[in-house]
Amino acid sequence: MKINFKKSINHGFTLIELMITLSIASILLSVAVPSYRSFVQDSLLITQSNNFYSALALAKSEAIKRNIRTTICPSTTGTSCADSTTWSNGWIIFVDNNSNKSVDAGEQILQVTPAFTGGNTLTTTTKTVIFRQDGFSPGSAATFSICDARGSSYSKSIILSQQGRFRTETGTGSCS
C-alpha cells in the first residue's frame, strides 16, 4: 500500500504579515492625504482664477468686436448687477449700450457665471468693470483676489490695469 503525503498549501496571511502591511499602508496614507488635499485646493483655485481671467478676456474682446462698451459685474440673480464687491457669488457680462453699469431692457447678457464652490472667495474694491470699444478699462483698475481657507500666501490675484491689460500673480492677494 502506498501512502500519498501531499504538502498542504496555505492560502492567506499570517497575523504578523497583516500587521506589517497595515503599518506600511497607514504610514503611506499619513503622507499622501495632506498632499492630495493641497493638490485639490490648488486645482480649485487655479480653475476659478482661470474662469475669471477668461471672463475678463471675453468682456474685453466683445467690446472690441461689437464696437460697444461691455460691463462685467457681480450678480447673484444672473439678470442684474449686485451692489457688492464680492464676486464669488457669481457675475454677468453684458453689452452696456448706455454705459450706466446696469442691465436695461434690450441689453444683451453675454455670459452668466454661477457662484464659486469650495468656500473660496473672489473680492476686490470695485463693483463693475467696463471695457470700452478700444479695449481700455478706464476707472476699472483693480486687483481681484481669489482666496481659500489657507490664506493669502496661497491666493491667486488678477490685476487689471486701466489700459485693459490683466495679469495673474500667486500669493499676493488680500484675503480678509
In tens, the pLDDT along 17-63 reads 888 999 998 888 888 777 888 899 999 999 999 999 999 999 999 99
Beta bridge partners, 113, equal 91
pLDDT in tens, 111-120: 999 999 888 9
Provide the CA 123 distance to its chain's centre, in angstroms. 12
Q: How confident is the model at residue 140, as a pLDDT?
A: 87
Look at residues 118, 121, 117, 114 and name the one whose alpha carbon lies nearest to residue 37: 118
pLDDT in tens, 135-166: 999 988 899 999 998 988 999 999 999 999 99
Neighbours of 107 (CB within 10 A): 17
CA trace torsion 117, 50, 170, 78 (10° rounding): -50
Q: How confident is the model at residue 35, as a pLDDT?
A: 82
Query: Residue 88: which pLDDT band, with cuts at 50, 70 and 90?
Result: very high
Q: How far is CA 107 from CA 59, 90, 94, 101, in A?
A: 14, 19, 7, 11
Query: Residue 6: which pLDDT band, with cuts at 50, 70 and 90?
Result: low
Q: How confident is the model at residue 8, as a pLDDT?
A: 62
Query: Residue 169: which pLDDT band, with cuts at 50, 70 and 90?
Result: very high
Quote the pTM value. 0.81
DSSP 45-97: HHHHHHHHHHHHHHHHHHHHHHTS-EEEEE-SSSSS--S-SB-TT-EEEEE-T
Inform me whether the pLDDT recorded for 69 exceeds 90: yes
Mean pLDDT score of the chain, rounded to an integer? Answer: 90
